[in-house]
Amino acid sequence: MINSEFPVLQDSSNESGQGDTVSLSLSVSELEDTGEGKGKKKRGRPGRQQASNKKARKSPVDKGGRRPNGMAQQNGEGGDPSTLFEVVKLGKSAMQSVVDDWIESYKQDRDMALLDLINFFIQCSGCKGTVRIEMFRNMQNAEIIRKMTEEFDEDSGDYPLTIAGPQWKKFRYNFCEFIGVLIRQCQYSIIYDEYMMDTVISLLTGLSDSQVRAFRHTSTLAAMKLMTALVNVALNLSINQDNTQRQYEAERNKVAGKRATDKLELLLEKRKELQENQDEIENMMNSIFKGIFVHRYRDAIAEIRAICIEEIGVWMKLYSDAFLNDSYLKYVGWTLHDRQGEVRLKCLKALQTLYTNRGLFPKLELFTNRFKDRIVSMTLDKEYDVAVEAIRLVTLILHGSEDALSNEDCENVYHLVYSAHRPVAVAAGEFLHRKLFSRHDPQAEEALAKRRGRNSPNGNLIRMLVLFFLESELHEHAAYLVDSLWDSSQELLKDWDCMIELLLEEPVQGEEVLGDRHESALIELMVCTIRQAAEAHPPVGRGTGKRVLTAKEKKTQVDDKNKLTEHFIIALPMLLSKYQADAEKVANLLQIPQYFDLEVYSSGRMEKHLDALLKQIRVVVEKHTESEVLEACSKTYSILCSEEYTIMNRVDIARSQLIDELTDRFNHSVEDLLQEGDEADDDDIYSVLSSLKKLTAFHNAHDLTKWDLFKNCYRLLKMGIEQGSMPEQIAVQALQCSHYSILWQLVRITEGSPSKDDLVALRRVVKSFLAVCQQCLSNVNTPVKEQAFMLLCDLLMIFSHQLTTGSREALQPLVFNPDNTLQSELLSFVLDHVFIDQDDENQSMEGDEEDEANKIEALHKRRNLLAAFSKLIIYDIVDMPAAADIFKHYMKYYNDYGDIIKETLSKTRQTDKIQCAKTLILSLQQLFNELVQDQGPNLDRTSSHVSGIKELARRFALTFGLDQIKTREAVATLHKDGIDFAFKFPNPKGAEYPPPNLAFLEVLCEFSSKLLRQDKKTVHSYLEKFMTEYMMERREDVWLPLIAYRNSLLTGGDEDRMSVTTGSTTSRASTVRSKRGRPPLHKKRTDADESVDGSWVMRNDTIQTPGGLQTPQLTSTVLRENPRQAAEHIPEQDSSEPGSEPDYIHNPQMQMSWLDQQKIEDVNRKERGGMNYMKARSGGVRQQVRGLMEDDAEPIFEDVMMSSRGQLEDMNEEFEDTMVIDLPPSRNRRERAELRPDFFDSTAIIEDDSGFGMQMF
């Protein structure tokens, strides 16, 4: 039995005084010493070694070797490794040689050699301590480990097994190899001496139970590798036992005359010795397993658990007779539920090595039945790597026994072929291929191999694939299915001959006929296989992008493209002819030509097939009016008309003939419709609509300017506006066609050298079309309004001031700026059609019986409308204050449009920080005014509506980020506008009553944390200009917003705070700070500094300050003049009230930063303010800021988010961009502010990975 402590050492021949040193031989191994293996000593206290049997050892000075305690011995060279740890770490010597040296040392003095090995394990754990010979002799195991624990380096949590870098990665490999080689070299005698293995196992057992992670981790890895080496020894012993037994049986079965009695006795003795050795090895393995593995496989550290599971998998694979049973498998099964993905991954990989060997399946049957459900559920693991390995394991289980998995188990894996994560999908594709497409009958396969086409072996498999695709009702992504099967079923998916025959040939007698749905599915799958072969990369949404193909992959791609071209150049016209009446099939088939190698038409003399294709496309255009089919035809013509191919002229003639015919038909139909007016019948309307749809589809990809389609489209639109009787589909198509016509004209002008007449003509066309679109915004038909709105936004973007950039100043006449009326109508459209209540939308959908997909489509359309208008704001085409009506809906419509509004806010801030801040405060003012109109002047400050405005303000405050210097002026301007709004109107009842908008100051409090300390004083001084002595003395509830806002400005300052309860002022905060020792630098601020702070407000007395803008029922931002035209309409100063909207727009000083005006007066103050900020981060002012802030006992969360405790939980639940922050213990507000993330930034979101079973798509 192995003791839990080190064996008590005897003083073995150390009388010479050299017992503290040990030397290693460079060449002698254990195998050369025949005397060691002849007998074994009894386990227990080792006997004293005879001095006569020992070789004389050289002194350290003579050899320049190692000290036995592991300490480095300085030698003359100075560069040789002096400890076993350093030798293994450097890895310059072969491990066989290193182990042989240690074995020779062990033979000379096993105590000193073991001491060297013990120090090796201690140093591999990163411990600086060393076990000395006295400790080894006199101290117990636990005492030695406790002593080593005390000498551990606590400055760093790293140790050799966790340090990153190639050197330490190599060390881990050398460490494991050393243990394996050591046992292999000692397997014939030393490991049976009842001393070496007892000592090592006892040490590793004690270390593995340590509370020090480094000891536990290192000793567990060593013990597991030691166990693996012992398993190999036990396996060899088992094999030798079997061989000896066979030899003994063979010899005993001989006739008496030929039987060798001596040989039988020798074989019996050998068998007995092998059995004793086997028992010894099993005893060692049991000690390691029960003393270390059973405790460490559930260690708190995931790496340690992973080591245990990885190694037990190796034991089961190497020695399945001993370890592959339920007693050991249960540990792997239990660990499948581990909370760490890396441990679950090791479990699955360990099981994969077992299930790969089909001969082991009988032993795994009970385990499979018990843990199969868990393994199948892990295919949905939140860790993609684990999910992939789980699918591969399920595939191995299926391969070994198809009966092991139920249909439900298989279906759980089937749907993963549609996963957006490609490795998961590919693994599921391999499972699907193994289950459905693998041929298991060799005779039937040989018989079918002689057949081709629809009767080939792939014929039935393709039918099965189509059936599987159709039964996947939850997924309709054929491209994903093809990509998932591409690696495992490529031969099947590239059998285009079979697919074409299934579609074209009539079925033989007794063969099942493909239905319409099956044909549509087969065509869709076939087109996807063509795309995959031609492009050689996964479909959109799966993978990180196009990767660089290898030479072999490029060759395969070229060969596949040539193959599919040869097949479908001939077959495509026939397929189109057969399915020309089916819009869905034709739309899919017309995608095939874009993957052709079009040179084959001319090089292979296949022009007749090109003519057949063009003829079929023309027939399709004549028969269909569906937009998908027409767009596919247009795209096909565009590809075939590429100038790089010689077939271009032939295709261009066919295209021109088709357009001529369509244009003539359209012109005649328009004339008939205009003449008949209200008396037009359905045939006239259909004739116009069908021809217009076709021309619009072609105009998208082809320049049809010479056919002058704009003229008749404009006539149709004008008639519809004047008479109000134009069908909505005709109006929508006419708008779209006119839009394409304008864009093609612009392309011609930008690519050439336009004359002045060309520019004037295009400007006249654009101006008239913009006017028509503006008139269409009031149309009764929603599709017409939406189309007009989108085209207006697109054209205003295209013909904006950016048109002249890039040396295109000549295009200045084409620049259009929307006037106030147009801006107002665009904004009104957004408010009416985007920000609508869900209840209203549901009511409108109930009549049409819209399903969930249609609701999603409607939301997508509304998002496009909002994005189109937001772009106009971002690019300064629509005035930025118009965004106030967008920003104020951020909270209410966060789930639908939060990302768009957030991006708009971010981009507008990059354009103009101050203007963006004014827009933010304006949106809050609008919400406040709307609330006052609904509830009256006496607001309930605890109501959900007021809380909603404050929450929105808090979100806005978070968008200013962490750098208060960059946002300094913007935040100060925001506070100034807020104060002006709060005190703008006096109370009609008298001065002793609060102003009607005073409650707005409570909303403004949310931005106080974004002010620098010196700016808080400036804003406070500005606030005091509006306050009377009477206001300062009031403490009633109606004055609480003023008190709260004033206190928020005084936080961290020297001024007295207003007491809410007593009505008196107190200097408690400053008193506490003075007790903590304020730096004298702050006390000695000069009067000049104070006067500079005050001058910011005093200077502003001569400036007209903008107040809150008026908020009409709809909006307060659009009915005003364009800033670019402001110079022509600047009114007299007396004509507008200071602080009014006209004053805000036209006063140039209002466009200047409030703080900039102060900096102009005193530049020195600006420099001091900047320097003070930099010093506060590194110098003595840091102590000053700490002294100002340490007395504030607010929680860190409130400091970061500026929210009350009661609202913190709600904010975390409602706002997805907030996150829990683990900040350092420093209470310095300035230091903490530097660590705050921008909660409004999507990159600051921390995803919760605590859940299991995350959805894969």
| SS (HEC) of 1033-1059 | HCCCHHHHHHHHHHHHHHCCCCCCEEC
Residue 532 near residue 483, CB atoms below 8 Å? yes
In this prediction, residues 1164-1171 reach a mean pLDDT of 44
In this prediction, residues 711-734 reach a mean pLDDT of: 88
Assign 520 a pLDDT band (cuts: 50, 70, 90). Answer: very high
Look at residue 1027 in the predicted model and tell me its pLDDT. Answer: 82
pLDDT at residue 27 tops 50? no
Confidence of residue 1105 (pLDDT cuts 50, 70, 90): very low
> Does residue 145 surpass a pLDDT of 80?
yes
* SS3 per-residue string spanning 848-907: HCCCHHHHHHHHHHHHHHHHHHHHHHHCCCCCHHHHHHHHCCCCCCHHHHHHHHHHHHHH
Residue of 662 and 645 predicted with greater confidence? 662
| Residue 163's pLDDT band (cuts 50, 70, 90) | confident
Residue 33 pLDDT greater than 70, yes or no: no
The region of weakest confidence among 43-47, 241-245, 443-447, 705-709 is: 43-47
1037: pLDDT confidence band, cut at 50, 70 and 90? Answer: confident
pLDDT tens digits, one per residue of 665-705 = 999 999 988 888 777 788 888 999 999 999 999 999 999 99
Least confident span in 169-173, 204-208, 933-937, 1052-1056: 1052-1056
Phi and psi torsions of 1221, nearest 5°: -115, 130
Give the pLDDT score at 995: 87
Q: Residue 152's pLDDT is what? A: 75
Per residue in 474-498, is it b (16+ CB within 10 Å) or e — as a string?
eeebbbbbbbbbbebbeebbbbbbb
Q: What is the pLDDT of residue 95?
A: 85
Confidence band for 714, pLDDT divided at 50, 70 and 90: very high
In the predicted model, is pLDDT for residue 44 greater than 50?
no
Is residue 391 predicted with pLDDT exceeding 80? yes
pLDDT at 627: 92
8 A C-beta contact, residue 659 and residue 691: no
In percent, the amount of the chain with pLDDT more than 90 equals 45
User: Which pLDDT score, from 0 to 100, does residue 1234 have?
Assistant: 35
pLDDT at 939 over 70: yes
Instruction: Choose the most confident range, by mean pLDDT, from 117-131, 490-504, 1059-1073.
Output: 490-504
Range name among 149-158, 197-206, 463-472, 1057-1066 with the lowest pLDDT average: 1057-1066
920 compared with 65, residue with greater pLDDT: 920
**What's the pLDDT score for residue 604?**
80
Contact in structure between 725 and 680 (CB atoms under 8 Å) = no
The lowest-confidence range among 171-185, 880-894, 1035-1049, 1215-1229 is 1215-1229
Mean pLDDT, rounded, for 725-752: 91
- Residue 1173: pLDDT above 90? no
Which tokens belong to 527?
């087109």
Assess whether pLDDT exceeds 90 at residue 429: yes
User: What's the mean pLDDT in 1117-1132?
Assistant: 37
pLDDT, residue 799, reads 94
Residue 26's pLDDT band, with cuts at 50, 70 and 90, is very low
Is the pLDDT at 816 greater than 50, yes or no? Answer: yes
**Is residue 1104 scored above 80 in pLDDT?**
no
Query: What is the pLDDT, as a whole number, of residue 133?
Result: 80
* CA of residue 658 relative to chain centroid, distance: 49
| DSSP calls for 617-643 | HHHHHHH---HHHHHHHHHHHHHHT-T
pLDDT at 23: 33
Q: What are phi and psi of 438, to 5 degrees?
A: -80, 135
For 1048-1113, give the DSSP string.
Answer: HHHTTSSSPEEPTTTSSEE-HHHHHHHHT---HHHHT--HHHHHHHHHHHHHGGGSPPP-PPP--S
What was the pLDDT predicted at 662?
94
Position 565 pLDDT exceeds 90: yes
Residue matched to tokens 């405050």: 957
Task: Please give the pLDDT value at position 446.
Answer: 52
Residue indicated by tokens 């005003």: 1120
Can you give the pLDDT at residue 165?
A: 86
- In the prediction, which pLDDT does 154 show? 59
| pLDDT band at residue 839 using 50, 70 and 90 as cut-offs | low
Look at residue 1157 in the predicted model and tell me its pLDDT.
52
Rounded to an integer, what distance in angstroms lies between the CA atom of residue 643 and that of residue 466?
39
Q: How confident is the model at residue 253 (pLDDT cuts 50, 70, 90)?
A: confident
1059 or 1011: which carries more pLDDT confidence? 1011
Beta strands of 560-637 (E only): which ranges?
A: none
Most confident of 39-43, 240-244, 842-846: 240-244
Has residue 30 got a pLDDT over 50? no
Distances (CA, A) of 847 to 123, 838, 852, 853, 854: 78, 15, 14, 16, 13
Give pLDDT tens digits for 1126-1153.
333 333 333 333 333 334 334 444 444 4
**Poorest-pLDDT segment among 65-74, 575-584, 733-742:** 65-74
Residue 12 pLDDT greater than 60, yes or no:
no
Share of the chain above pLDDT 70, in %: 73
Q: What is the average pLDDT score of the chain?
A: 77
What gap in Å lies between CA 305 and CA 299, rounded to an integer?
6
DSSP 500: H
What's residue 380's pLDDT? 94
* Contact (CB, 8 A) for 248 and 267: yes
Task: Give the residue among 355, 421, 358 at the shortest CA–CA distance from 388.
Answer: 421
- Is the pLDDT at 128 greater than 90? The verdict is no
What pLDDT, in 10s, does the model give residues 585-615? 999 999 999 999 988 888 888 889 999 999 9
Question: Virtual CA dihedral for 198, 200, 205, 207, nearest 10 degrees?
Answer: 150
Determine which of 416-425, 473-482, 600-609, 1192-1201 has the lowest per-residue pLDDT on average: 1192-1201
85-124 exposure pattern, b = at least 16 Cβ within 10 A, e = fewer: bebbbebeeebeebbbbbbbbbbbbbbbbbbbbbbbbbbb
Tokens 């592991």 map to which residue?
Answer: 70
Model-wide pTM > 0.75: no
Residue 1125, pLDDT above cutoff 90: no
826 vs 1029: which has the higher pLDDT = 826
